[in-house]
Amino acid sequence: MVKDNSVSSVVLDIVIYVFLILLMIVILYPIIYILSVSLSSSDAFNAGKVVLWPVTGSGSFGLDFEAYKEIITGRTVPMSFLQSVINTLLYTAISLAFTTTLAYPLSRSKDRVPFHGFITKIIVFTMFFTAGMIPVYLIVQKLGLLNTRWSMILPAAISTYNLVVMRSFFESVPVELEEAAFIDGANELTIFAKIILPLSKAALATVGLFYGVYMWNQWFSAMLYLSDRAKDLYPLQYIIRQIVMENQLAAEAAAAGELNTVQVSTASLKYATLFISILPMLCVYPFIQKYFVKGVMVGSVKG
Amino acid sequence: MAKADTTLKAAAPSGTKESKGIIGYFKKECGKFSKGKFLLLLMIPGVVYFAIFHYWPFYGLLAAFKDYKPKMGILGSPWADQYGFAEFIRFFTIPDVWNYIWNTIALSILHIIWLFPFAIILALFINELRSQKFKKVVQTISYLPHFVSVAAICGMLTLFLQSQETVGSDLANEGIINQILIKLGAGHGIDFLSHANWFRTIYIASDVWASIGWSAIIYIAALSAVDQELYEAATIDGASRIQKMWHISVQLIRPTIVILLIMQIGKIMSLGADKALLLQRPETYTKSQILSTYIYNQGLTQGELSFSTAVGLFNSIINVILVIGANFISRKLTDTGLF
Identify the pLDDT of residue A250: 55
pLDDT at B318: 92
Domain assignments of chain B as residue spans, ordered by start: 94-334
Domains identified in chain A, total number: 2
- Residue at which a domain ends, from A49, A64, A79: A64
For residue A94, what are the domain limits?
68-303
Q: Are B191 and B263 in contact (CB under 8 A)?
A: no
Closest residue to B155, CB basis, from A244, A265, A289: A244
Same domain, A212 and A253: yes
Q: Which band of pLDDT confidence, cut at 50, 70 and 90, is reported for residue A256?
A: low
Q: Do A101 and B43 count as a contact with CB atoms less than 8 A apart?
A: yes
Residue A56 sits in the same domain as residue A73: no
Report B:131-190 residues touching A (Cβ under 8 A).
Answer: 137-138, 140-152, 154-156, 158-160, 170-172, 174, 176, 179, 182-183
Residues A154 and A38 in one domain: no
Count CB pairs under 8 A between chains A and B. Answer: 296
**Within its chain, how far is the Cα of A248 from the centroid?**
24
CB spacing of A128 vs B324 below 8 angstroms: yes
Q: Do A272 and A151 share a domain, yes or no?
A: yes
pLDDT reading at A264 higher than 70:
no
pLDDT of res. B1:
34
Instruction: Please indicate, yes or no, whether residues A156 and A278 belong to a single structural domain of this protein.
Output: yes
Kindly list the distances between the CA atom of residue B152 and the CA atoms of A26, A75, A285, B13, B159, in Å, as whole numbers in the listed order: 16, 20, 16, 49, 10
Contacts of B28 (CB under 8 A, 6+ apart): B8, B11
Closest Cα of chain B to A288: distance in Å?
Answer: 10
Q: In 3-state terms, what secondary structure has residue B79?
A: strand
Instruction: Quote the pTM value.
Output: 0.86
Q: What is the pLDDT of residue A253?
A: 56
Closest chain B CA to residue A221:
B274
| Residues A5 and A145 placed together within one structural domain of the fold | no
Mark whether A28 and A141 lie in a shared domain: no
DSSP, collapsed to helix, strand or coil, labels residue B66 as strand
Residue A47: the pLDDT is 75
According to the model, what pLDDT value does residue B266 have? Answer: 83
Asked if B320's CB is within 8 angstroms of A119's CB, the reply is no
The complex's ipTM works out to: 0.86
CATH no. for residue A170? 1.10.3720.10
Q: Are residues A135 and A40 in the same domain?
A: no
Same domain? For A233 and A138 the reply is yes
pLDDT value, residue B11: 42
Task: Rounding to the nearest 10 degrees, give the CA dihedral for residues A292, A298, A300, B2.
Answer: -160
Q: In this structure, are A91 and A37 located in the same domain?
A: no
Å between A73 CA and nearest CA of chain B:
22
Test B42 with A20 for CB contact under 8 angstroms: no
Confidence of residue A211 (pLDDT cuts 50, 70, 90): very high
CB-CB under 8 Å, B232 with A270: no
Helix or strand (DSSP H, E) at B318: helix B305-334
- Are A12 and A148 found together in one domain? no
Three-state SS string across chain A, please?
CCCCCCHHHHHHHHHHHHHHHHHHHHHHHHHHHHHHHHCCCHHHHHCCCCCCCCECCCCCECCCCHHHHHHHHCCHHHHHHHHHHHHHHHHHHHHHHHHHHHHHHHHCCCCCCCCHHHHHHHHHHHHHCCCCHHHHHHHHHHCCCCCCCHHHHHHHCCCHHHHHHHHHHHHCCCHHHHHHHHHCCCCHHHHHHHHHHHHCHHHHHHHHHHHHHHHHCCCHHHHHHCCHHHHHHCCHHHHHHHHHHHCHHHHHHHHCCCCCCCCCCHHHHHHHHHHHHHHHHHHHHHHHHHHHHHHHHHHHHHC
In B26-85, the residues whose Cβ lies within 8 Å of chain A are 29-30, 32-33, 35-43, 45-47, 49-50, 52-61, 63, 74
The residue of chain B nearest to residue A218, with distances taken between CA atoms, is B149
Distance CA B285, CA B100 (A): 9
Contact state of B39 with A113 under an 8 Å Cβ cutoff: yes
Are A111 and B46 inside 8 Å of each other by CB? no
Higher pLDDT, A79 or B26: A79
A109 or B151, higher pLDDT: B151
Q: Is B249 on the interface with A (CB under 8 A)?
A: no
| B205 in A contact zone (CB under 8 Å) | no
Return the sign of the alpha-carbon dihedral for residues B142, B144, B147, B148: negative
- Res B122: pLDDT: 94
Q: Which of A36, A64, A92 is the last residue of a domain?
A: A64
Count Cβ atoms below 10 Å from residue B170 Cβ, excluding itself: 11
Residue A254 predicted with pLDDT over 60: no
Residue B1 in contact with partner chain A when CB distance is under 8 A: yes
Among A109, A64, A291, A27, CA closest to B212: A27
Contact A241 B278 (CB under 8 A): yes
pLDDT tens, per residue, chain B with 339 residues: 333 443 334 444 444 444 567 777 777 777 777 777 788 888 999 999 999 999 999 998 888 888 888 777 777 778 877 787 888 888 888 888 899 999 999 999 999 999 999 999 999 999 888 888 999 999 999 999 999 999 999 999 988 998 887 777 677 778 888 888 888 887 788 888 888 899 999 999 999 999 999 899 888 888 887 788 888 888 888 888 888 888 888 888 888 888 888 888 888 888 888 899 999 888 888 899 999 999 998 888 888 888 899 999 999 999 999 988 888 887 887 766 655
Architecture of domain B94-334: Orthogonal Bundle (1.10)
Is the domain of A51 the same as that of A164? no
d(CA B163, CA B177): 9
* Neighbour-count burial of A198, counting CB atoms closer than 10 A to its CB (0-12 exposed, 13-18 middle, 19+ buried): exposed
pLDDT at A43 over 70: yes
C-alpha to C-alpha distance for A221 and A233, rounded to whole angstroms: 12
More confident residue, A96 or A50: A96
Mean pLDDT, rounded, for A128-148: 90
